[in-house]
Amino acid sequence: MFTAEQETHIVNMVIANNSITLCEIQQRIIEDDTTFQNIHNVSISVLGRVLARNRIRMKQIYRVPFERFISFNNDCYIGVWSDQSYSSYWDDR
């Protein structure tokens, strides 16, 4: 389905942005008429096979808010993560 040049372009997309998703790659391929002029539709599974053939593994990146609140059921440990420091419930006592 893809030429060697097109597969190289897909691999370079992932290398340039390691947080790119398969859906974003799919959208960029469909929108790019210069490199992928003969491709009008591509499935996620085909993209996965192309990346696997080129030994590229993509892992899901979990995006969390800037400040993450942590609490446990027994309320003995409550804390807030921020970019600079970690303060817990027990630090204020």
- The residue among 11, 38, 8, 10 whose CA lies nearest residue 26 is 10
CA angle 57, 46, 10 (to 5 degrees): 60
Render each residue's pLDDT in the chain as its tens digit; 93 residues. 899 999 999 999 999 988 889 999 999 999 999 999 989 999 999 999 999 999 988 776 666 665 555 544 444 444 444 444 444 445 555
Q: What pLDDT score was predicted for residue 87? A: 47
Q: Which long-range contacts (CB under 8 A, 24 or more apart) does 55-63 make?
A: 56/11, 56/14, 56/15, 58/14, 58/21, 58/22, 61/19
What is the predicted pLDDT for the residue at 58? 78
Question: What pLDDT does 83 receive?
Answer: 45
Burial of 35 (0-12, 13-18, 19+ CB in 10 A): middle
- The confidence score (pLDDT) of residue 70 equals 52
Per-residue pLDDT, 57: 85
Distances from the Cα of 36 to the Cαs of 44, 46, 51, 68, 71, in angstroms?
A: 16, 15, 16, 41, 49
Check: pTM over 0.85? Answer yes or no: no
The residues spanned by each domain of the chain are: 4-53, 64-93
